[in-house]
Amino acid sequence: MFVLAASAFIVAAVLGSAWVTGQFTTPAVDRTEGYVSELAAGDQPWTRLFRVSDVLSGLACLAGVALVPRVAREWPGWLALAAFGLLTLVAGLFPLDCAALSDPLCGRRETSFSHVAHALARVLGTVAVLAAMALLSARWASRASWLFTWLTLGTTLLTAIAQVAGHGVGLAHRAQLTTIAVWLVYVALRLLVADDPEEAGPRIAPGRMGGVGGARVRMDDAPAWSGTGNGADPARDRCAGADPTGGGRPHVVVQGAGPAVLITAGLAGAWFHWDAVAARLASGHQVIRFDRPGLGLSPCAPGPPTLYGEVARLAALSPAHPQQVTLVADGTACWHAEAFARLHPLCLARLVLVEPACAGERRPLPFAGTAGRWLPALGRTWAATALARLAGPPAHRLLTGTADPSGVYGTGRVLAAAAGEWLARRRMAADLRRLRAEKPFPEVPVTVISSGDADGCAGHLAGELAAEHVRLPGAGHLLQLRAPQAVADAVT
C-alpha cells in the first residue's frame, strides 16, 4: 500500500507539471505575466490536453491519500491533501474562458460559471495544499517538509503581490506550482522509506470490553486466549493469547461459571450481539464469546479466513479434555460449528445452530483468494476508514436495529474483515461439502433454530443431522437479538 500510494503521488506531481511543456506549445500565454491556468483556457489550442492533465493529477492525488495506511492523528493533513486533489480535479473540469492576464480582450467579456468556478477552485486548492503541508509537517517533525511548506507559502505570497503590482505573476505562479510538485515527490519518498505503523486500536466505549450488566472476563477460569476484560487496559484485552491461524491475539469474553458454552457469531458479527443470550446463560454456565480476526475488537489476520482455520479457533477456545463444550453458532458460523463437530466429536456436548446458512453448490469465486489477501492491508487505509465511518454505524443500525456501543463498525478493519468473510463463503461451503463426504456426523444432540419455513435450508439441515427443529415464525433474522430466550432454552 505504501508503494501504491507513493506511485500515485509521483503521478500527481508529474501530471500537475504538464504546464512545463505548455511554455512551448502555447506561445500566446505570456510566461512572465500569465497564469499557468491560462494554458488550459477554453480558447487555447491545447486546452483539452492540459485540462485532462489537471483532472488526472487530481484523481492521482485522491488515490494516493486513499491508499495511505492510516496513522493516528494524521487525518487532518491527509484530509486537506484530499481536498487539494478534489479541487485540482474541479479546476480541470471547469476551465477559464480565456487567458485572463495574457489576453487584453479577456476582461471585456462576460465571465461564465466555468471561469468563476476555476478561479475559486484554484484559490481554495492553494489554501488546502498549504494546510496539508503545515499539518503533516507538524506531525512528521520533518525539516525538509517544513522547508517546502515555507517555500510554497513564500511563492504564494509573491504571486499575490505580483498580481497587485501587475508584473511577474507568471514567474511567481510557476515557482509556486514547482514547490508543490516537489513536495508531492517528497511525500512519496517518505512513504517508501517509512516504517509500517502499528495497527491503531478501535475506539472503545467505557465498560464495553466485556458485556452488559457488569460482565467481565474472569481470568481464574478462562481459557488460554482470554483477556482481562476489566476495561482498564484495552491493549491487554485485545492482545492476550495467540491465534492458531497466524493472526494477532483475539478478543475473548468469558462470563459465568459451570459447563462451557462457546458462542460464535455469524457473518461480520461481534461479541456484543450475544449479550442478551449470555446474560441468560451465565447463571449456570461459563459462556465464552469471541471476535474472529478483524471483527469486533480482534486485530486482523494476515490472510483470508478458511473453514479449517475457524475449526482450529473453536478447538483452541474449547475446554480441555475430558470436558465438553456446547457450541452455539449463527449464520455462516454454523458451517464452522458443523465442521468442528465432524473433526472433534469428543469435544462436543451439544450443538445449537441459529439460522444456518445454505452451503450451496456454487463454485468459489476465482478472485476471492487474491482479494482476501489484500483486504487486511486495504482495511488500514484512509479510504476504508472514511467509508466505514460514514456507512458502518448506519448500516449496522439498519441491519440489527441496535447501536454499536464500542464503535467497531466505524473502522476500516471491520469493513475489510466483513468483505473477506463474504468472499470466503463459497470456498468454505465447498470445503464443508467435501468434509461431509469424508467425516460422519457424531451422535450429539443438535437443535436448529430458524424463523423460516420447514422446507428451507434450516429444515433440510435439521433432517440431515437428525436435529430438533425449533421454528419461530415472525421472529425475523438475528434471533439472538429478537428471541434470546429461545436460544438460551435450546442450550439448557
pLDDT at site 430: 92
Per the prediction, the chain carries an average pLDDT of 83
pLDDT at site 394: 92
Between 226 and 67, where is the model more confident? 67
Task: Answer yes or no: are the C-beta atoms of 137 and 186 closer than 8 Å.
Answer: no
Let me know how long the chain is. 492
118 vs 486: CA distance, rounded Å: 63
Name 286's bridge partners.
260
Backbone angles phi, psi at 396, to 5 degrees: -65, -45
Could you tell me the pLDDT band of residue 195, with boundaries at 50, 70 and 90? low
Please state, in angstroms and as integers, the Cα–Cα distance from residue 173 to each residue in 33, 89, 180, 183, following that order. Answer: 9, 18, 11, 16
Give the mean pLDDT of 37-57.
84
pLDDT at site 146: 94
| pLDDT at residue 203 greater than cutoff 50 | no
Least confidently predicted of 29-33, 39-43, 253-257, 437-441: 29-33
| pLDDT at residue 19 greater than cutoff 50 | yes
| pLDDT at residue 220 greater than cutoff 80 | no
Residues near 460 by beta carbon (within 8 Å), at least 6 away in sequence: none
pLDDT at site 121: 92
| pLDDT at residue 48 greater than cutoff 90 | no
Hey, what amino acid is at 273?
A: H
pLDDT at site 432: 94
Give the mean pLDDT of 418-444.
92
421 vs 414: CA distance, rounded Å: 10
The alpha-helical segments, DSSP class H, found in 306-424 are: 307-317, 333-343, 368-378, 382-400, 412-423
| pLDDT at residue 262 greater than cutoff 90 | yes
pLDDT at site 204: 41
Q: Which residue has the cell 504538464?
A: 18
pLDDT at site 334: 94
Burial of 298 (0-12, 13-18, 19+ CB in 10 A): buried
Could you tell me the pLDDT band of residue 240, with boundaries at 50, 70 and 90? very low
Q: CB neighbours (10 Å) of residue 364?
A: 16
Burial of 1 (0-12, 13-18, 19+ CB in 10 A): middle
The helix (run of H) or strand (run of E) holding residue 236 is: helix 234-238
Burial of 230 (0-12, 13-18, 19+ CB in 10 A): middle
pLDDT at site 267: 92
Between 278 and 41, where is the model more confident? 278
pLDDT at site 38: 76
Angle among Cα 445, 447, 449 to the nearest 5 degrees reads: 175
Q: What is the separation, in whole angstroms, between the first and last Cα of the chain?
A: 49
Task: Answer yes or no: are the C-beta atoms of 304 and 376 closer than 8 Å.
Answer: no
Task: From 165, 146, 134, 187, select the one nearest 16 (Cα to Cα).
Answer: 187
Q: Which residue has the cell 487474491?
A: 370
| pLDDT at residue 207 greater than cutoff 90 | no
The helix (run of H) or strand (run of E) holding residue 59 is: helix 47-67
pLDDT at site 105: 67
196 vs 207: CA distance, rounded Å: 31
Angle among Cα 231, 235, 237 to the nearest 5 degrees reads: 50
| pLDDT at residue 444 greater than cutoff 50 | yes
pLDDT at site 245: 56
The helix (run of H) or strand (run of E) holding residue 146 is: helix 143-165
- Give, as one character, the DSSP assignment of residue 274: G
347 vs 369: CA distance, rounded Å: 31
Between 282 and 207, where is the model more confident? 282
| pLDDT at residue 274 greater than cutoff 50 | yes
| pLDDT at residue 112 greater than cutoff 80 | yes
Name 354's bridge partners.
330, 449
pLDDT in tens, 149-173: 999 999 999 988 988 887 878 788 8
Name 352's bridge partners.
328, 447
Give the mean pLDDT of 285-304.
90
Could you tell me the pLDDT band of residue 454, with boundaries at 50, 70 and 90? low
pLDDT in tens, 363-414: 777 777 788 888 888 888 888 888 998 998 999 998 888 888 888 999 889 9
Radius of gyration for the chain, computed over Cα atoms and rounded to the nearest angstrom = 29
Could you tell me the pLDDT band of residue 351, with boundaries at 50, 70 and 90? very high
Name the pTM for this structure.
0.78
**Percent share of the chain, pLDDT over 70:** 85
Least confidently predicted of 2-11, 80-89, 208-217: 208-217
461 vs 341: CA distance, rounded Å: 14
Could you tell me the pLDDT band of residue 247, with boundaries at 50, 70 and 90? low
